[in-house]
Amino acid sequence: MRKGIFIITAALALMIEATAQESLPYPVIRRFDPEDLLVRQHLESIRSDVPSGPLLLLGYRVGPGDSVDTIARLFELTVDSIVTLNRTNGRALRSGEIVLIPNQSGLFVAVTPRSPLERALQRRVPGASTAARVRVSLPGNEDVAFLFLPEERLTAAERRVASPQFALPVPWLGVTSPFGTRRDPITGNRAFHRGVDLAVPHGTAVRASRAGTVRSIDREQILGLSITLVHGDGFVTRYAHLREVLVKPGDVVRQGDAIARSGSTGYSTGAHLHFEIVLDGTPLDPLDFLLVEVDP
């Protein structure tokens, strides 16, 4: 596999009309038909025994019932190729949206990462001898630089990050304090905040963000009354400043089960929920994982 910049081209002149309709520099098909000239050509390129040719992209309009898995099977590609190219990070596809389909399986590593999965993939780059730089116009007028790693797959650890399936533990009312280094609301000093503080009225039901087991219930000076859940794959969630706990250690809970009521115990300026997501001991920004689009 040669290094350098791949030229992403349209292979046939008749692609131009479809491209103009979709405002993308690639042809877009509305349904999978193996007899369609564009689909047939793309499949032939995918099946080619010569992977060193140009990287071609085809747009596919998602239909009812389509998923990343079904689309990958139709085009004989790895799921990892579609997930990393389209930056889905494991989310469900929406009917009517357009996803890009490459003619080669591999991993697309965003040069400027924006999600936990993309940050995890950055660790591969220093040792990637076959990486090639490619610039892609994604649907939504997003121009993204990737490093393409042909034929590579996500590791088990990367796959966990790609589709963790977390839900909001309380109704969305906004963030009162974000993840990361911040100015402490009481002391005014800068310090690292391991989770996000979610605005919520006193006494609101706090629900399990994901199915898991109650590892512990703790009461301490900073976080006050808190619950820690483990999820069996290295992920841990923590819910703090609670008024009341509705579970006990060892309980198995489903996603959405009420486990507590919000409060202002511990080091707190008022009622809110402190929520953490931790992977293998490393705290992560919960807003990267929640199954809703939120505006921090």
Chain segment 133-150, per-residue pLDDT in tens: 899 999 877 899 999 999
Q: Is 175-288 a domain of CATH 2.70.70.10?
A: yes
> Which H helix or E strand runs over 99?
strand 98-102
Residue type, 29: I
Residue 193's nearest CA partner among 275, 281, 264, 113 is 275
The pLDDT of residue 129: 65
Q: Which has the higher per-residue pLDDT, 218 or 115?
A: 218
The pLDDT of residue 187: 65
C-alpha span between 187 and 222 (Å, rounded): 13
Which structure tokens are listed for 206?
């706090």
Picking from 148-152, 260-264, 278-282, 286-290, which range would have the lowest pLDDT averaged per residue? Answer: 286-290
Residue 124 per-residue DSSP state: G
C-alpha span between 118 and 188 (Å, rounded): 33
Question: Could you state, in order of their start, the residue ranges of all structural domains in the chain?
Answer: 15-162, 175-288
∠ Cα 135 153 74 (to 5°): 80
pLDDT tens digits along 27-65: 999 999 989 999 999 999 888 866 556 889 999 999 988
C-alpha span between 122 and 221 (Å, rounded): 37
The pLDDT of residue 262: 98
Q: pTM of the prediction?
A: 0.60
CB 21 within 8 A of CB 12: no
